[in-house]
Amino acid sequence: KAGVTQTPRYLIKTRGQQVTLSCSPISGHRSVSWYQQTPGQGLQFLFEYFSETQRNKGNFPGRFSGRQFSNSRSEMNVSTLELGDSALYLCASSPSSGNYGYTFGSGTRLTVV
């Protein structure tokens, strides 16, 4: 079956702009999480959505937001981009409950100039 799909794969934006990233989870998966990966901070949790509700949130400023649609697809938005937002943004999906491993997408590489 198809894996986690993230679009776009690469993105270049200018400081001050906003950006929206998309994630399509594995069919049947209802939980979607987002992570940011930078060389300095490593992999950091942004937020998790389940059934269109944010279930958990990491320690990021309010410029970072997300949402989940009824088909479980998710988007994350970053407003007023800063140079430090340059990172690999990863989406992961898992079944609704239980102790499963997350399946990650290949990520969106965002560069802010």
Task: From 11-19, 63-71, 77-85, 98-106, give the range in contact with another protein by CB under 8 A.
Answer: 98-106
Whichever of 15 and 57 has its CB closer to another protein, that residue is 57
Cα–Cα separations (whole angstroms), residue 22 to 11, 59, 65 = 12, 21, 12
Single out the residue of 49, 72, 85, 105 in contact with another protein (rule: CB under 8 A). 105
User: Are 110 and 6 spatial neighbours (Cβ–Cβ below 8 Å)?
Assistant: no
Phi, psi of 50 (to 5 degrees): -145, 125
Which residues are near another protein by CB under 8 A? 4, 33, 35, 42-45, 48, 55-56, 58, 88, 90, 92, 97-99, 101-107
